[in-house]
Amino acid sequence: MIRRIIRGIITLLFGAAGLFLDNMLIKIKAFARLSESIGLPISLFWTYIISFILFAIIGFLVAPVCMKVFLGLVKWLESRLTRMPTHELIGGALGVISGLLIASLFSSSFSDVPFIGPVLSVLISIFLGYVGLIIGVKRKDDILGFFNFIPKLKGEKSDKDKGREGKGRDKRIPSSYKVLDTSVIIDGRIADIVKTGFLDGILLIPGFVLEELRHIADSSDMLKRNRGRRGLDILNQISKEAFIEVEIYEKDFEDIAEVDSKLVRLANVLGAPILTNDYNLNKVAELQGIKVLNINELANAVKPVVLPGEEMYVQVMKEGKEAGQGVAYLDDGTMVVIDGGRRYIGQHTTVLVTTVLQTAAGRMIFAKPKGVLEKSPEEFSHEVNAFG
What is the model's pLDDT at position 290?
87
The 10s digit of each residue's pLDDT in 34-82 is: 555 655 555 566 667 777 888 888 878 888 888 888 778 777 777 666 6
Backbone angles phi, psi at 186, to 5 degrees: -65, -35
Q: What CATH number does the domain located at 311-369 have? A: 2.40.50.140
How far, in Å, CA of 101 to CA of 154, rounded? 26
What is the model's pLDDT at position 338?
92
Which ranges of the chain have pLDDT less than 50?
Answer: 149-175, 372-388
How far, in Å, CA of 82 to CA of 2, rounded? 26
Backbone angles phi, psi at 157, to 5 degrees: -80, 155
- The bridge status of strand 245-249 relative to strand 202-206 is parallel
For the chain, give every domain's residue range: 1-83, 86-155, 173-300, 311-369
Give the strands of the sheet with 274-276, arranged side by side.
245-249, 202-206, 177-180, 274-276, 292-294
CA gyration radius, the chain:
36
Q: What CATH number does the domain located at 173-300 have? A: 3.40.50.1010
Interhelix angle 2-27/30-38, rounded to 10 degrees, is: 70
What is the model's pLDDT at position 258?
86
User: How far is the CA of 203 from the CAs of 136, 237, 241, in angstroms?
Assistant: 34, 13, 12
The 10s digit of each residue's pLDDT in 119-174 is: 777 778 888 888 887 887 777 766 666 655 444 444 444 444 444 444 333 333 34
Backbone angles phi, psi at 319, to 5 degrees: -85, 145
What is the model's pLDDT at position 153?
42
Of all helices (H) and strands (E), which one includes residue 27?
helix 2-27
What is the model's pLDDT at position 59?
79
